[in-house]
Each structure stands twice: as structure tokens, then as C-alpha cells.
Structure 1
Amino acid sequence: MNKELVKKHEQSLLRAMTGVEQCQGVLSRLDRQWTRATLTGKINCSRIAQTLIDFIISTQDNFTALQKNLVDILVLENTQKVILEIAAVAQVAIDILKRNLFERTADVGFLATDDDIVRFLSCGNDETTALARVEDDTALVPLGDETSGFADSRAVDRIEERLREYRDKYTVYNEIIILDTDGRVRAHLDRDNAVKRSDDPLIAETLAAPSYVETYRQSDLLPGRGEALLYSQAIKDPVTGAPLGVLCLVFDFAGEMAGIFENLKNFSADTVILILDERGRAIASSDPVKAPVGRTYPSSLRDDFAMTQLGGEAYLSKTLGTKGYQGFFGLPWNGQVLKRVATAFQNGTNGHSLDEAAIRRNAIFSGRLIQVEEASENVLSDLQLVVQNGEIMAAKKSIQADASERVEAQALPHVLNEVKKIGDQVQHVFQTSTGGLLKLVTSSRLHDVQFLAALAIDIMDRNLYERANDCRWWALTSDFRRMLEKPSLPEADQDRMRGILAYINSLYTVYTNLFVYDRDGKILACSNPDEQRQEGRVLNEPYVAETLAISDSQMYRVSAFEASDMYEEGGVARHTYIYNAPITSLAREGTVLGGIGIVFDSTPQFLSMLNDTLPRDGMGNILEGSEGMFVETSGKVVASTNPDIAPGDDIDLAGMFCQLSSGQFSSRLLSEGDKLYAVGCAHSAGYREYKRDGAYVNDLLAIVKVRI
């Protein structure tokens, strides 16, 4: 924390720190008492105790410096606590968003190569072919107002139904648009969107781009809708590579941000959370009344914090850029959190009963807390020395023959008594202040671990939501459905199936293998060449039979978290989840032909999620003594950053939080020998419809443990 920056705003901060102001008032009163004691000593005892009085004055000078130092430390610690809390929220707000958007780049890359979409545009771009394919009873409809070409209305209906199926699975999109190379809209989903063609430069940019294009602004693709977040990619002929058109996915940015803001509000009261673009303009706000979207807000990524005005009130603000996700940073956006200064420092124990003695005994004190303790002890030692020397001196002088010295010796105890009272009060002030600091830091850590645990489980739910979507969508691949209709799979079809799976796997790198199996559970093709040894094997696992028993394209099945030789390393089966969906017939609705299984690369992926949530020092290293884990409510470990705890192990720690239900979180202190930990836990709440619609139940806990 930049001390100069805190000093610059100290007066504004102090006014909101009632506890520190009270401490400052008590110290000022003690300083005045000290001055009076010194004057009394000078007037009444100067002949016999001048050296002692000089020592009292010297000790007071030390006290004055300590008084200032203590207030500075209290202001710094209180400010740092608040800034660390809002910084964590700002970081999470932008990083959670970017994690989600990373998945969108894979989605648009895959969907742009979808066979049905490619065929739809290939036929529509060739007018003769298009007309030749039209059946006698099929109506011909214009492609748009500015073209003489026609498209099969049934083909449009079919492709829009396919897009609708996609959107039903990936509910993060509120519109999907297919355009030809001239910008004419060939198909789209939102009936309230009146777009027919586009002159947006986005079309040309996307056709010229090597992969996806990410755009956030107004577009004639969504007339009258304001700014929108679009992911676009060129649709190309798979043989010649010639561009056929453009696919646009319109991300539900408002819905996504509303969900992020709602989750974060539980951990950051009296705050406003913003997403800012590269100009500092708000594109999303948790409180659009106080902080409207479209307004530019001061931000500095280089400063520890800033002070700003919002609605005539002072706010502390913290702005952070994304840490990125798997190399993806996306558009240059930042997260900003503003916290109202007037209520920022209303510190409490967050409902926890804190044992100060245990904290003093076992907590790792910060350097500043040790400094406060040592400085107070030095002052008290000096005061005690003054009293002891004075008492000895008074006793000696009281028996001497000189009458004036006897009078001063009789007056000296009154001065010493005043000094002793000051010492007792100084001790009380410092014990109260350091005890308060200890409780403040401990309470903050308990708040932090709750937040981090909730963040970890939210990241997990969001990630696995995508896995449930992926398997269901890929099961609808038309080539797979046509191939599985055949009584046996020709070698050319098997190679084609492997190629499709490998292409998907190259975009979605969180899987070690994708595989297709038939009605008998026999594996027909794998995406990973190293796993093609599995081809021909018949799977007897329960998840396969369960998958083959469902025909609804919205349904899926997930294996238990267990060791599987489909996810082995060095010949050793590892624990993972395998997501599955049925592949159904194109010609015979409801007939199941087989299934697709996708093997989640759980070991590195879960560890990455956990490591991303653990607290770090100024160098970016995870704080020593910190660990995280995902655990089933039974105590079975899904993942752990502690190398001594492996997936599949059972732990007792889950029992501490077994009473939590969906979406709940808690924290507590845990002593292990002479070490003290803050332990936070959060119960899975699902994401969007995932684990909320009854299709899949998977009760999990995230536990974060941090030494304090």
C-alpha cells in the first residue's frame, strides 16, 4: 500500500474511521495530561528531580511520535483492508467475465464450420443449385429486398431451428445471425430483430480475419438495440476455403453482468461495480442509478486506489485489468469497484466470535502489527522506569534534613501517580488498538476465504456448465447422425468422424479426448490419436447405458467422479468427469443411434481454478500456507492444491461445513498445532440452468484455507 497516497487522503479517511478518531482523541487527552504532569513536576520538584523531569519530557517526545505513528498505522491498516476487499471484487468481476468470453471464441469457431450451416449457405450462394433443390411444394422466398435470389423457405426454417437448438443449450446468446458475403441476412433467431442486411464494416473485417472477431459497439445487425457484444467468424467452403458468409453470435452481455453483479453483492456492501472500456467509459454497472452506463469514470491501473466523487459523496475506487484466461485477454476492458467512504470503515467481526488470545498466540503478525506492539512496550517501559526511579528518589529525600527537599519529596509521589495513570491508560489504548487490529485482520481473512471459496465454486459451476452444453451440441452433428444410421461404419466415415472430433478438440482444449460410441456402447472414433487404441472397445459403465436410454436433445448424463482408464496417465487411471449426450437419428425422430462422450481434463483444469482463487503476495506468489480444494459433501476430494491430498481421497474437513445448502457459504478459524487458519467454504449453486433445472445433481463444496 502506497503510504504517500494514504497520507494525501488521510483527513478524508480519518473522518470516516470513527474508531481511529476516538483513539486519536484519547491519545491527545493523554498527551495533555502528560504536559500537566511535567509542569507540576517542574514547579514542585525541580530541585530534587530535574533529571527525572527531563526524562519525563524525553519520554513524552517519544510518546508524541508514537501517537502519530499509531494513528498512521491504524489509517493504513483500515484503508488497506478495504482496498484489498474491493480489489478482489474488481479482479473477479473482470476475470469471471473474460473466462466466459473465452468460451465464446471457441463456440463461434466451431459453429462457423457446422455442416448444416455450410450446406445452407453453399446452396443459397448458387442460385441454380438452390432452385434445383427446391421441391415442388416448397415456397420460394426472397433472400432480401436487394437481391433477385431465392432460398428454400423450408431450408431457412430448418437452419433456424438448428440455431434455436444451439441457443437452447448455450443460453448465453440472445441472437444468432447468418449472413452471406454481401451482408444479406440469410437466417436469424430473434423475430423482434428487423434486420435484413448489414453494411457494418464488421462483415468485411470478419471475412478478412484469420479467425474470430470480437466487437462491442452499436451495429445495424441489431437496429435500435444500442451497444452489443458480437462474436463473428467467416463461414468457408470446406474444400476450396472460399468465403460463403459470416456467422454472428450476439452474447447476452446484460444478462451475464447481472448474474456476476448479483453474486458479488453478497461480499461487497455499499459498493458499485463497473466494467470500463479502454476509455474509462462504463459499459456495465451494478447500480445504474448512482453510476450510469455510458459515463466516463476516473481510473488508474497504476495506483493502489483513488478517491472519487459519486452523487456528491466520496468513494474509494480500485481499477484492475484482467489477468487473462489461457492466453485470452479480449477487448481492453477493466473492472472497477467504488466503495462509499462514509460507510467503508464500519468494521465488525462479521458475526464471528474471535478469541484475541488465540489470535495473538498463533497468528502470523504483520510487520506493522509487531511495530505497534513493540513501540507501545517501549513507552510503557520508559514510564515504568520513571515511576520506579521517582519512588526511590522520593523515599530518600523524604528523610533528609533539608526542609525544602522534604517538601518536594512529598509532592513528587503526586506527579509519579499522574505518570503512572498515564502509563496505565497508554497500555489500555495500545492493547485496545493492537487487539482491534488483530481482530480486524482476522475478520478480514474470514471474509476473504468465504469470498474466495464462493469464487472457486462459481468458476467450477460456470466451467462445467459449458461441458454440459458442449456434449449436447456436438451430439447433433449431422455427419455423426448420418454415419451412425449405417449398419457398419466404413473406414472413410471413421476417418471423417475422427477428423471432426479432432477439430472440435483443437478448439476446446479442456478435454483429453472426445469419442463416439454406437447403440452397443462400442467406441467408433476418438479425437486423440493416443486414445484411438480404445476404438472397438465396448463400454459397460453406467453413464453409457443411461445416455443411450434418453432421446431428448436437451438431456445429458455425467459419470460419477471416479477413476477411469479413459483418463489415465502412465497407465494409471485418474479421477474425472465424462459428459455424455445421445446421438439421435435424423430420419427417425427419437431413435437413439449412439452417444458422444467427452473426457474432461480434470486434474490441471480444477487445479487451475483453485490456484486462480488463492491469495497472493506482491510478487504474485500464492501465500505460504494457503490451499484450496473441491470436495463432495461426503468428503471425497475432487481436487486439491495440497500435494498430499489426491483426487478420490476422503477428508474430515468437509464435515465442518456439511450443514451448508445450495449457494450458502461460511468460514471459521481452525487451529492446527501452533498454526491458525481461516477456512472458508461455499456450496455449489449452479450457473444459469445448470444444476438448477433438476437435470443433474452434483453437490460440491469449495474449501479455501489460509494461514493468518
Structure 2
Amino acid sequence: MDRELVKRHEQTLLRAMNSVDACQNVLGRLDRQWTRATLTGKINCSRIAQTLIDFISSTQDNFSSLQRNLLDTLVLENTQKVVLEIAAVAQVAIDILKRNLFERTADVGFLATDDDIVQFLLAGDYTRDAVAAIEERLAEYRNKYTVYWEIAVIDAGGTVRAHLDRQNPLQHCADPLLAQAMDSEQYVETYGPTDLAPGRGDVLAYSQAIRHPASGAPLGVLALLFDFEGEMAGIFESLKRSSDDLVIMILDETGRAIATSDAMNAPQGRRYPLALRDAFHMAQLGGEPYLAKTLATKGYQGFIGLPWYGHVQKRVATAFRNDRSGHDFDEAAIRQNAIFSARLIEVEEASENVLSDLELVVQNGEIMAAKKSVQADVSERVEAQALPHVLGEVKKIGDQVQHVFQESTGDLLRLVTSSRLHDAQFLAALAIDIMDRNLYERANDCRWWALTSDFRRFLDQPRLGEADRNRMREILAYINSLYTVYSNLFVYDREGHVVACSNPNEHRREGRVLHEPYVAETLSITDSQLYRVSAFETTDLYTSADGLARHTYIYNAPITSLARPDTVVGGIGVVFDSEPQFLSMLTDCLPRDGQGGILEGSEGMFVEPSGRIVASTNPEHAPGDVIDLAGVFCQLSCGQLTAHLVAEGEQLYAVGCAHSAGYREFKRGDGYTNDLLGVIRVRI
């Protein structure tokens, strides 16, 4: 934390730190009392105790320095606690959005090559029946990928040939994105007003050229209009659970808010300072000071996207509330074992050392006063009688100062401990939310790819020819090149024979019969909205470099006949590359220090309520291992979360746990149940 930056805003911060401000006032009052007591000693006892008075005075100077050190530490620790909180939320806000948008780039890349859409533009038949057929296909897509509110197919001249939103009167597109997409070899991501959505203001669109299968010439453009407002509302709702006095925004490269959690006080369209190099900056909202932090995305799978930032502001007036959230702490254990408490304890110990010296001086002074009180010199006897009062007053003041030190550091220890518990709980909820969001996409992918017309046509034949098998491999390989979270995609026929794989290293699997329960279950489904997922178990369809079977999920959907849509002719299985993907999710959710490094002793895991591990950042815990989960964690139900202190030997941890709640329709009524817990453990 930048001490100079904190110092610059110290008065504003102190006004909101009630406990620190109170500590400062008490210490100031005691310091004045100490000065008066010392002055009384100088006036009344200087002849017999000048050396003692001088030492008491110098001890007061040392104590004043310690007081300043204590107050600086309290302000710094309180500020750092809040800055780390808002930095975590700012990072999460932009990164969770970018994770979602990465999926959109793959979506548009694959859908733009969809054979039905390509043939629609190639044929040039725009009769009502032809348009209805392609719009039905687009609706099938949106029914699975519910993050889009509009999908449009535009020909090279700009005429909108098919789209979904009947409330959106589209006929022609003159938007520059049309030319951009047709000139580009990949997707185009745009945010701003577009004539594809008249009157809707800024729109986030993903566009890609639809090309001639032989020449590669652009036939037109596919545009996917993303439900940015709805997605951000969901992200804000989730993140606001962290604290009710946060304002969360997404800023563009100019600092303009393009999404906000508080439209009244921080409206969309307003510009805010980016201040990317500062640990924090002070902002004003509604005439009140707010601590603010802005962060760029860390990216996902190499995707950065448009130059947007996560920006969070926290109201200074309420930022430093000492909320223990109902937790009871063993302060002695925290003082003994918490690694963060060391610098606070150092301040306490330094004050104890000074007071110990002072106590020794007071004792010696009392002995001196007793001796001088029997001296023949009257004036010395008078001073000797006055000295114990002065010494007693100084000792009492010193004891009160020490009490204030202990109380202040104790309050901060409890505050930081409560904050760590809050952070662990928040990050556990974030981890399981990211997992749900990611696996939602997997359920969508397998169902949509199962509707690939070539798959349906080839599998409906009595015998699969080698040319058709190669074509299926090509399609699967192309999909896998876009959707890199899979180690392999495979298609199987109605008997469960693997007929084609995306990964050339897996072609040896072709011809094998799959006897796993999820295959039989998939082949019994005729509804294109349904899917099946394997149990999280080891499978030789997902192996390590040395050929050992590993744990993963395999998502499956039925492939039905084109001619007879109620007849299942096979299925598609997508093998989630679980080890690196889950590890990446968990690592992204571990708490960070001010330099962005993972806090020492932090780890995360996904685990079943039974204690069976799905993934862990701790290499000592492998997928499939079973750990002893605290009963309070095992009893959580859908969407619930909690946090507790856990002692292991001399080490103390804040452990947060959150139960999966699903995302959109995924695990919320789509027929799939998979109880999982996100657990984040932070050394304190």
C-alpha cells in the first residue's frame, strides 16, 4: 500500500474511521495529561528527581512516536482492507464478463459456418417458407444460448434476410460492421449504436462473414446481439452480495461508464477517472467521498476484447464499519497464529517495553522519595512528599495508554479477521458461480452441435462412408479449434460406436463401443433441449500425457434424423478439459495482495458434499481424493454460503464455502442436478 497516497487522504479517511478517530482523541487527551503531570514534577520535585523527570519526559516523547506509529498502522491497515476488497470486486467484474464474451467469439465463428445458413444465402431463396425455416434454426440456437436477444443474417448488399426479434423492424443494415466483418478473416466485436437495433442505444454485437464454401468470398454477415444489460445485471447482483455500499461499473477506454450497478448515483454515460497506476483514488459521488479502484482484465484464453475496465467505488462514510457478521473469535488464537497480526503486535510490544522501563523508573522514584522524606532539608522533604503523587499519575496515564493500544490493535485484529472471513466466503461464491457459468456453456455446446445437419444426414445412412467420416472429423476439428476448453469431441451412432473424433490423437477410439450409462441415456432422448452429463469419474477418453485415465465431465446430446426428427440416430460427446480449466477458475478466485500476487497459504477447491474432490489448487489433493469437510459445509443447500475459522496446528485459516446455484436455466429446472461446493481457504 502506498503510504504517501494514504497520507494525502488521511483526514478524509480518519473522519470515517470512528474507532481510529476515537483512539486518536483518547491518546491526545492522555498525552496532555502526561504533559501536565511531568510539568508538575518539574515544578515541585526538580531538586531531588530531575533525572527521573527528564527520563519520564523522554519516555513521553518515545510514546508519542509510538502513538503516531499506531495511528499510521491503524489507518493503513483499515484502508488496505477496503482497497483489497474493492480491487477484488473490480477485477472479478471485468474478468467474469470477459470469460463470458470469450465464448461469444467462438459462437459467432462456428455459427457463421453453419451449413444451413451458408446454403440459405447461397441459394438466394428468400420466400416465406425458406426464411421461416432458417429463422426456426436460429430460434433453436437462441433457445440454447439464451445470452442473445437477436440474431440476424444479412446478405452482402446489406439486406436483412432473416432475424428473430419480431419487435425489431429490421429490413436493411448500413452499419460499418457489415463491411468490417466481410473484410475480416475472423469475428468483429463492436459496442455502440447500430441500425440492427434502432432506438436501443449502445449494443454489443458479434459479427462474422458468412463465406462461400468453395471460393471463400463473403456471401453476407451473421450478427449476434448480446444481452449485455441482462448479463451485467446478473453480475452486479452477484457481486453486490459482497457489500451493500459498493458501486460497480464497467468503463470504456475513455472512462465512460457503459454499465453501472447504481444508475441513480453513478449513471451510465458519465466519465470517471481511470487512475490505473494508483493503489486507489478518491472520487466524489453525490457530494460524498468514495474510495475507488479501476483494473484492466487479465484476459481469458488469450482473449482481451474491447478495452474495458472494472471500476468499483465504496462509500468512505460506511467503508470502515466494524461488522463481525455474527462471528465469534478467539482473539488469543488470532494474536498467536495470525500472520497478518505481526506488525500490530510489534507496535504493542514496543509500547509494553517503554512502559516497562517507565514502571521501573517509577519504582526507583518511589524508593528515592521514601529516602528523601526523612532528610533534614525541609525543601527536599516537601519535594519527596510531592513526588509519589506525580509518579502515580504518570504510571496511571501510562497504563491507560497501554490499554488503548491493546484495545485498538485488538479491534483491528478482529476487523481484519472478519474481513478475511468475508473475503473467503465471497471468493468461494465467485468460484462456484464461474464454474456454473462455464459448464452452462458446455450444456449449450453439445446440444447445438448435435443439430449439425451433416451429422444428422450422415448418421441416418445405413453405412457411414469414409468420405463422410472425414467430413465429420473436419467439422469436429474446426469446432474444437474455436472451443478450446475441450480435449476431444466425438460422435457415436445409435449402437454407441464412436464414428469420428476431433482430436487426431483420438482417432484410434473410432469403432469402439461405449457402454457408459450416459450414452444409453443420451440415445433415449428425442428433445433437442435435453442433454446428459457423465458422472465426474476417471475415463480413458480423458488421459494424461502418460496415458493414465483422468477425472472429467463428458457432456452429451442426441443427434436426430433430419427426415424423422423424433428418431435418434446417434449422439455427440464433448470431453471437458477439466484439469486446466478448473484449476484456472480456482486460481483466478484466490485472494491477492496489493501487487496482484496470491496471498501466502491460500488455496481453493471444488468438492462434492461427500468430500470427494473435483479440483484443487493444492497439488497434494488430486481429483477423486476424499477430504473431511466440516459438517457445516456439507449441510449447505442450493445457493447458500458460509465462512468459518479453522485451526490446523499453529496455523489459522478463514474458510469460505458456497453451494452451486446454477446459472440462467442451467441446473435451475433443465433436469440436471449436480451438487457441488466451492471452497476457498485463506491463511490469516
The TM-score with structure 1 as length reference comes to 0.95
Matches within 5 A, 1:247-326: 247-326=222-301
Matching residue of 2:523: 548
Matching residue of 1:571: 547
**Contact 1:10–1:75 (CA under 8 A) maintained in structure 2:** yes
User: Could you tell me the percent identity over the aligned residues?
Assistant: 75
Letter in 1 for 2:56: I
Mapped to 2, the partners of 1:365 and 1:600 lie a distance apart of 39
Matching residue of 1:478: 453
Letter in 1 for 2:617: T
Q: Deviations over 1:564-602 (max 9, x none)?
A: 111112221111000000001111121111100000000
**Contact 2:335–2:345 (CA under 8 A) maintained in structure 1:** no
SS of 1:583's partner is strand
**Is structure 2 residue 45 aligned with structure 1 residue 9?**
no
Q: Deviations over 1:423-447 (max 9, x none)?
A: 2101110110111121111111111
Matching residue of 1:144: none
- CA change 1:214–1:159 in 2 (3 A) is same
Q: Deviations over 1:651-693 (max 9, x none)?
A: 1125340121111111111111111111110110111110111
Matching residue of 1:649: 625
Structure 1 residue aligned with 2:217, among 242, 258, 263? 242
Matching residue of 1:333: 308
Mapped to 1, the partners of 2:541 and 2:398 lie a distance apart of 72
Matching residue of 2:39: 39
Letter in 2 for 1:659: Q
**Contact 2:646–2:655 (CA under 8 A) maintained in structure 1:** yes
Matching residue of 1:139: none
Letter in 2 for 1:688: R
SS of 2:254's partner is coil
Mapped to 2, the partners of 1:252 and 1:654 lie a distance apart of 40
**Contact 1:635–1:655 (CA under 8 A) maintained in structure 2:** no
Matching residue of 1:179: 154
Letter in 2 for 1:358: A
**Is structure 2 residue 607 aligned with structure 1 residue 631?**
yes
Matching residue of 1:434: 409
**Structure 1: runs of 5+ lacking an equivalent:** 125-129, 131-150
SS of 2:334's partner is helix
**Contact 1:579–1:598 (CA under 8 A) maintained in structure 2:** yes
**Is structure 2 residue 419 aligned with structure 1 residue 444?**
yes
Mapped to 1, the partners of 2:630 and 2:670 lie a distance apart of 24
**Structure 2: runs of 5+ lacking an equivalent:** none
Letter in 1 for 2:558: P
**Is structure 2 residue 652 aligned with structure 1 residue 682?**
no
Matching residue of 1:53: 53
Mapped to 1, the partners of 2:352 and 2:8 lie a distance apart of 29
Shift of 1:370: 3.8
Shift of 1:491: 0.5
Matching residue of 1:610: 586
Shift of 1:391: 1.7
**Contact 1:16–1:345 (CA under 8 A) maintained in structure 2:** yes
Q: Deviations over 1:288-335 (max 9, x none)?
A: 011111111222111111111111222111111111111111101111
Matching residue of 1:135: none
Mapped to 1, the partners of 2:441 and 2:251 lie a distance apart of 26
Matching residue of 1:102: 102
Shift of 1:619: 4.7
Q: Deviations over 1:494-515 (max 9, x none)?
A: 0000110000001001111100
Matching residue of 1:218: 193
Mapped to 1, the partners of 2:569 and 2:532 lie a distance apart of 16
Matches within 5 A, 1:521-560: 521-560=496-535
Matches within 5 A, 1:24-173: 24-124=24-124, 130=125, 151-173=126-148
Matching residue of 1:496: 471
**Contact 1:629–1:702 (CA under 8 A) maintained in structure 2:** yes
Q: Deviations over 1:630-650 (max 9, x none)?
A: 001111110011111111111
Shift of 1:366: 4.8
Matching residue of 1:188: 163
Mapped to 2, the partners of 1:652 and 1:332 lie a distance apart of 44
Shift of 1:378: 3.2
Letter in 1 for 2:419: S
Letter in 2 for 1:324: G
Mapped to 2, the partners of 1:339 and 1:623 lie a distance apart of 23
Q: Deviations over 1:530-577 (max 9, x none)?
A: 111110011110000110111000000000000111111222111100
**Contact 2:142–2:148 (CA under 8 A) maintained in structure 1:** yes
**Contact 2:427–2:656 (CA under 8 A) maintained in structure 1:** yes
**Contact 1:481–1:585 (CA under 8 A) maintained in structure 2:** yes
Greater CA deviation, 88-97 or 368-377? 368-377
**Is structure 2 residue 208 aligned with structure 1 residue 233?**
yes
Letter in 2 for 1:338: Q
Letter in 1 for 2:253: E
Structure 2 residue aligned with 1:405, among 380, 385, 388? 380
SS of 1:179's partner is strand
Mapped to 1, the partners of 2:596 and 2:22 lie a distance apart of 36
**Contact 2:84–2:594 (CA under 8 A) maintained in structure 1:** no
Letter in 1 for 2:672: Y
Mapped to 2, the partners of 1:286 and 1:633 lie a distance apart of 33
The TM-score with structure 2 as length reference comes to 0.98
SS of 1:365's partner is helix
**Is structure 2 residue 569 aligned with structure 1 residue 593?**
yes
**Contact 1:584–1:594 (CA under 8 A) maintained in structure 2:** yes
Shift of 1:402: 2.1
Matching residue of 1:520: 495
Q: Deviations over 1:426-472 (max 9, x none)?
A: 11101101111211111111111011111110110000000000000
Greater CA deviation, 374-383 or 309-318? 374-383
Matching residue of 1:143: none
Mapped to 1, the partners of 2:306 and 2:630 lie a distance apart of 40
Shift of 1:183: 1.0
Matching residue of 1:659: 635
Mapped to 1, the partners of 2:202 and 2:541 lie a distance apart of 45
State the aligned residue count: 683
Mapped to 1, the partners of 2:89 and 2:325 lie a distance apart of 18
Letter in 2 for 1:272: V
Letter in 1 for 2:388: P
SS of 1:598's partner is strand
Q: Deviations over 1:367-402 (max 9, x none)?
A: 532442233223322321321221222122223222
SS of 2:242's partner is coil
**Contact 1:614–1:704 (CA under 8 A) maintained in structure 2:** yes
Matching residue of 1:136: none
